[in-house]
Amino acid sequence: MKEYLQRLANKESFSSEEMQLAVGQMLLDEEISDSEIAAFLIALKTKGETVDEIAGLVNAIRNNTIGFSRKFQNVIDNCGTGGDRSLSFNVSTTSAFVIAGSGIPVAKHGNRSMSSKTGSADVLEELGVHLSIPSHYAEELLEKIGIAFLFAPHVHPKLKKVMKVRRELQIPTIFNLIGPLTNPIELETQLLGIYRRDYLEMFAEVLKKLGRKRAIVINGAGHLDEASLEGQNHLVLLENGILKKMTLHPEEVGLTCYPNASIIGGDSKVNADILLGVLKGERGAFRDTVLLNAGLAIYTSGTVQNISDGIKKAQESIDSGAAYEKLCLLVEQTTKFKKEVI
């Protein structure tokens, strides 16, 4: 570890393989101290992370996660990085049920709140979803009902030490941005929201290096880590190994503009009520924000020709009751598992 720290102090960059080895050692070697981990993260941040380094870091984490035995085709994740300080309701979590209701399996990777009032795990727990399920059961849920929630602390148990250091540092590091990349399911497609607009192309390159066949990285109007109805959204589409920069205004796809202040949420109870309202058909800024984000994910999956068609499928998912049914099934199945293990 001292050699790695010296190289970072000298502003040297690592190859993907070198970073994978360094982080693997950090996760597995119990003799590495908290101060060494903190020094590594700060030195990496000060130098500036490269695409290879981020990919190597992600691969090291995924190599040390709880194992998933099956490969799935056409499974998507629509997780954002968080960190935009918008205090919005759980947009991506609500959208996940709409995406699943449209027929696209969703492996939703998430955690409790780190930088917002309510994380995906908090709101799902409020709704009755049992969070900690084994990998084989999550795989069954993906096959059986088309949606599973992968609770980050459960699937990444070896990150406890790093997470402790991260909380104590109280400054953003690369770990504030890589959560969505560490989904243990082998994904071919992904919608990734990020609050750093200057990182759009870099993270699209990382997704390419991680093997995504098709993906969108988006930074919303007002620098949200999801698509916003406030104005112009900036995104990068990865398709067939090629990156394409794009912009998207809600009016271009038939949606009304709303300020970001109109989608502010609250605690887990408030956000659970908002989620239920959207899935049960309530109209307004919450619904339209979900339609935009779910529509983008459906387009990312490659099952429709354009974003407008993705939004139409999202509307059908909600209005038919299919999205709400996915929530009910997830609650029912995870509750059933919880009772079986007690």
Tell whether 128 is in a known binding site.
Answer: no
Tell whether 62 is in a known binding site.
Answer: no
Tell whether 103 is in a known binding site.
Answer: no
Q: Are strands 106-110 and 147-151 parallel, antiparallel or unpaired?
A: parallel
Tell whether 211 is in a known binding site.
Answer: no
Tell whether 267 is in a known binding site.
Answer: no
Q: Cα torsion at 75, 81, 84, 86 (round to 10°)?
A: 40
Tell whether 293 is in a known binding site.
Answer: no
Tell whether 92 is in a known binding site.
Answer: yes
Residue type (1 letter), 66: I
Tell whether 120 is in a known binding site.
Answer: yes
Tell whether 112 is in a known binding site.
Answer: yes
Tell whether 249 is in a known binding site.
Answer: no
Tokens found for residue 280: 């049960």
Tell whether 114 is in a known binding site.
Answer: yes
Tell whether 116 is in a known binding site.
Answer: yes
Tell whether 265 is in a known binding site.
Answer: no
Tell whether 155 is in a known binding site.
Answer: no
Q: Which of 318, 271, 309 is nearest to 290 (CA)?
A: 318
Distance of CA 300 to CAs 112, 136, 171, 205, 276, Å? Answer: 26, 27, 32, 16, 25
Tell whether 214 is in a known binding site.
Answer: no
Say how many CA atoms lie within 13 Å of 114 toward its Cβ: 22
Tell whether 268 is in a known binding site.
Answer: no
Tell whether 228 is in a known binding site.
Answer: no
Tokens found for residue 104: 């696209």
Tell whether 113 is in a known binding site.
Answer: yes
Tell whether 202 is in a known binding site.
Answer: no
Tell whether 166 is in a known binding site.
Answer: yes
Beta bridge partners of 76: 106, 189
- Spatial separation of the C-alpha atoms in residues 121 and 151, rounded to whole Å: 7
Annotated binding-site ranges for 5-phospho-alpha-D-ribose 1-diphosphate: 80, 83-84, 88, 90-93, 108-116, 120
Annotated binding-site ranges: 80, 83-84, 88, 90-93, 108-116, 120, 166, 225-226
Annotated binding-site ranges for Mg(2+): 92, 225-226
Annotated binding-site ranges for anthranilate: 80, 111, 166
